[in-house]
Chains A and B, each alone.
Chain A
């Protein structure tokens, strides 16, 4: 199993190299791992997988009911949704099928609901149905006053986005994919049937190239002479509320999209928090992942209308992510057979849901660029640690604690993370490189105290493992 973080990249040529270890790049690498004859590399600029757009999304497993019917995105979300639900169940990725309510707050939004229901049917989703005002308040008693009705979409779920990305990467690495972190690609050239990638860790050669560089997909595309699209980072700020707020909400509350934009949502997370956001700010800076006073004030104002009691609860985290918006709404997945090159661009917030279907689609396109995929195999399963509250956490499993008392020794008290889980994460196939990586893998320090109680102890465990 190969995961590298420093030193020169390996010599020799790969059959396929995927640039970008976000949820999409990792899914593609995992899909290619089913082809034992291929030598595959996954190259990532940052020191961990899922560090770009993938780590700061709203963590929803969509049905695709509101996609543009007939679009590539609609198909891939629909297929990917089913595939990921099954994969999550098999791999231990936390999912909760809570269902969504699109809440109408004015007549215009109310009038839009039947159209959305029809659109859902055209997207092959038949379970959306209108909910009148009394039923809406019965379902969500803490909803702010003034809602007129809603569309219920029972198939929408919440999912752990970090575990998903990590599961793909782990399974890919288990099956021979070589993961190279800390390797930003600064240039690419195509000559005599070989791509030469220049990275800060030296060059890497590959016959076929997949661009899953997310926010930087347009830059990589231009190195190969394509000017098909421009990525405009769209910043989404989000506020995470303490899990003591969890009982205020039962469904994902989605805004009704109108001419004025998409609005903000309130959703439970699988970790038992409530999430409020995102904002939608088009920016120039692909590193502008800071929150702003204006953004937070806007979210609080919207949140006060949707779920007034939420604002009395403690905030456990604020974060901002950049979505890879392009000039078009649909995904930009393009094969360039003459260069043995596939661009996977413009993957918007639905990318998490669609990731497995995108991977299958990209693999087909690769075959069309002259790649002999060779025979396929079934992958051995991965078993990821459960970070969700809907299933027993390790400390709640009496047999597990009896077998290994480290699972009963809690270190992070707010999130109830045991020393055993931290130990396991530190020894995992794709281990964390810093405390943030450890937090994403275990939830340690992700709770309401943000390290007041456990921060130093968690850091000591992390540093002890590297000493």
Chain B
């Protein structure tokens, strides 16, 4: 590294806590709550946003909470925050964890200035974001009116900002339908939803509701090939798989889904990453490759529901407690790999006896598939699923993990048609 990139020495006040959690979304807050309840004295959660709660803060739709206690996103965010605070965890917002200061220490900055926080254990729960237009390499001009769902929801629900009048929603998964709802709540019309796949990837009820009740056309097998307009977006050009192209007149376009983990701290800490999720590689106890550093939530699997993140927060808390009680860090694990059409699995390292279910994603639709788990040619597990749909959660039980040979090769998961 050339010498001129060396940072100037900053004198930072240093402090110690027992557990430092980075990210006050459902995973981080659930972990902090559980740790504080278990009697860990100094549990601190940092969030760079001004408000804690993570992505649910701006998901003004239902689908959070439980069947018996359904909640909107903001209500859910308040609930998990209140639980953490009540348990005695310290939640500090407006504080950014900038970089590592040691094996399990982070440099931070906030309005009170820089600080170094040392911890016995660090939990990374930094979440995931949607790939924006540029990262998807969608050609065309760079007009205003181009959103991700995250920005759209914050603009409409947190800031009451005006968006355009006619919007195209790119994607047809759950988050895309949530984006379409937000567009309508903002008083704009959804001109069309566009997906490269041959069907929507949400429930039948939701698909029908959008098409029949709100009269939103769904263009399947269709790709956005160009954004048009100088200053403000004037339209998008789309192309059907059969080669037909058409220009949709709109002043707003929302790129939905295509989540990637916000893994900057993980990478700066040289944590081993999983090539599928691009989040830190973790075992069933959510240990990363860096001793003392755990990870949980959508950072590990971009993205699953808030409920999954919360469950994972609880689970990582149990592992942190064991670690604080002196458990050995180095568990014997082997890599857990997926083969196409599977895109990723999380966790992605396995130890015998890991007992929490796995989440997976497929990149292609497979009807009535069979999921098989194999190590060195030895079949460990086989299960039959309903249809495997891209952008929807698949789960795999953990009951086969006791059969894993830690001295053997990687464990492979395949998805094939029956």
Interface residues of A in 190-210 (CB under 8 A from B): none
| Cross-chain contact A389 with B134 (CB below 8 angstroms) | no
B156 CB to nearest chain A CB (Å): 8
A287 and B234 alpha carbons, distance in the complex (Å) = 15
Q: How far is the CA of A98 from the CA of B135 in the complex (A)?
A: 27
Asked if A111 lies at the interface with its beta carbon under 8 angstroms from chain B, I say no
Q: Does the CB pair B150–A389 fall under 8 Å?
A: no
Asked whether A247 is an interface residue with its Cβ less than 8 Å from the other chain, the reply is yes
Q: Are A244 and B5 in contact, CB atoms less than 8 angstroms apart?
A: no
Q: Which residues of A contact B225 (CB under 8 A)?
A: 293
Within 8 Å by CB of B96, from A389, A416, A451, A455, lies A416
- Contact residues in A for B132 (Cβ distance below 8 Å): 449-452
Q: Is B204 an interface residue (CB 8 A)?
A: no
Q: Is B21 an interface residue (CB 8 A)?
A: no
Chain B residues in 8 Å Cβ range of A295: 139
A114 within 8 A of partner (CB): no
Interface hit among A329-337, A344-352, A394-402 = A394-402
Known contacts: A456-B159, A457-B159. The answer to whether A405 contacts B112 by CB under 8 A is yes
> A459: which B residues are within 8 A, CB to CB?
155, 159, 161
Residue numbers in B under 8 Å from A134 (CB-CB): none
Interface size of B by CB at 8 A reads: 50
Q: How far is the CB of A389 from chain B (nearest CB, A)?
A: 7
Give the distance in Å from the alpha carbon of A405 to the alpha carbon of B113 in the complex. Answer: 7
Given A410-B48, A455-B151, A459-B155, A289 contacting B141 (CB threshold 8 A): yes
Complex alpha-carbon distance, A406 and B113, angstroms:
10
**Residue contact B96 to A410, C-beta cutoff 8 Å:** yes
Contact A408–B148 (Cβ < 8 Å)? no
B137 A318 Cβ-Cβ under 8 A:
yes
A409: CB under 8 A from chain B? Answer: yes
Q: Name A409's closest neighbour in chain B (CB-CB).
A: B111
Q: Are B135 and A316 in contact (CB under 8 A)?
A: yes
B357 interface residue (CB < 8 Å to A): no
In the bound complex, do residue A456 and residue B161 qualify as a contact, i.e. CB atoms below 8 Å apart?
yes
Q: Give bound CA distance, A392 to B9, whole Å.
A: 10
Do the beta carbons of A315 and B137 come within 8 Å of each other?
A: yes
A98 touches B109 (CB 8 A): no
B113 near A402: Cβ-Cβ < 8 Å: yes
Q: Report whether A296 and B139 are in contact in the complex, using a CB–CB cutoff of 8 Å.
A: yes
Complex Cα distance, B379 from A78, in Å, reads 70
A98 contacts across to B, CB distance below 8 A: 2
User: How many Å from the CB of B88 to the closest CB on chain A?
Assistant: 26
Is the CB of B140 closer than 8 A to any CB of chain A? yes
The verdict on A318 contacting B264 (CB below 8 Å), with A250-B2, A410-B48 known, is: no
Give residues of chain B (329-361) contacting chain A, Cβ–Cβ below 8 Å. none
B260 part of interface (Cβ distance < 8 Å): yes
- Is A281 engaged at the interface, CB distance under 8 Å to the other chain? no
Q: Is B141 a contact of A452 with CB atoms below 8 Å?
A: no
| Pair B111/A406 contact, Cβ less than 8 Å | yes
Known contacts A451-B151, A456-B159, A459-B155; A398/B10 CB under 8 A: yes
Cα distance A451–B152 in the bound complex, in angstroms: 9
Decide: A408 near B110, CB < 8 A? Known: A244-B264, A314-B260, A318-B137: yes
Task: Tell me how many residues of A have a C-beta within 8 Å of chain B.
Answer: 50
Tell me whether A408 and B111 are in contact in the complex, defined as CB-CB below 8 angstroms, given that A289-B141, A450-B133, A452-B129 are known contacts: yes
Say yes or no: is B144 at the interface (Cβ < 8 Å to chain A): yes
Within 8 A of A (CB), among B1-58: 1-2, 4-5, 7-8, 10-12, 48-49
User: Are A247's CB and B4's CB within 8 A?
Assistant: no
Measured between beta carbons, the chain B residues less than 8 angstroms from A316 are: 134-135
Shortest Cβ gap from B260 to chain A (Å): 7
Residue of B nearest to A244 (CB): B267
Contacts A451-B151, A452-B150; is A401 near B141 (CB within 8 Å)? no
Partner of B151, one of A244, A389, A452: A452
Task: Confirm or deny: A97 has a beta carbon within 8 angstroms of a beta carbon on chain B.
Answer: yes
- The 0/1 profile, CB within 8 Å of B marked 1, for residues 217-256 of chain A is 0000000000000000000000010001001001000000
Chain B contacts of A291 at CB under 8 A?
139-140
Query: Is the CB of B364 closer than 8 A to any CB of chain A?
Result: no
**A460 at interface by CB-CB < 8 Å:** yes
Distance between Cα atoms of A396 and B7 in the complex (Å): 9
Q: Does B130 contact A (CB under 8 A)?
A: yes
A-side contacts of B2, CB under 8 Å: 98, 250
A286 to chain B, nearest CB (A): 12
A292 at the interface (CB under 8 A from B): yes
Chain A interface residues (CB < 8 Å from chain B): 96-98, 240, 244, 247, 250, 287, 289-293, 295-296, 314-319, 389-390, 392, 395-396, 398, 401-402, 405-406, 408-410, 413, 416, 434-435, 448-453, 455-457, 459-460, 463
Q: List 19 A-B contacts (CB under 8 A).
A: A287-B230, A293-B139, A315-B137, A392-B8, A396-B7, A398-B113, A398-B114, A401-B114, A408-B110, A410-B48, A410-B96, A449-B132, A450-B135, A451-B147, A451-B151, A453-B129, A455-B154, A456-B154, A457-B159
Report the 9 A-B pairs with minimum CB-CB distance, sorted nearest first.
A450-B132, A405-B111, A456-B154, A455-B151, A456-B155, A452-B150, A290-B141, A452-B129, A408-B111
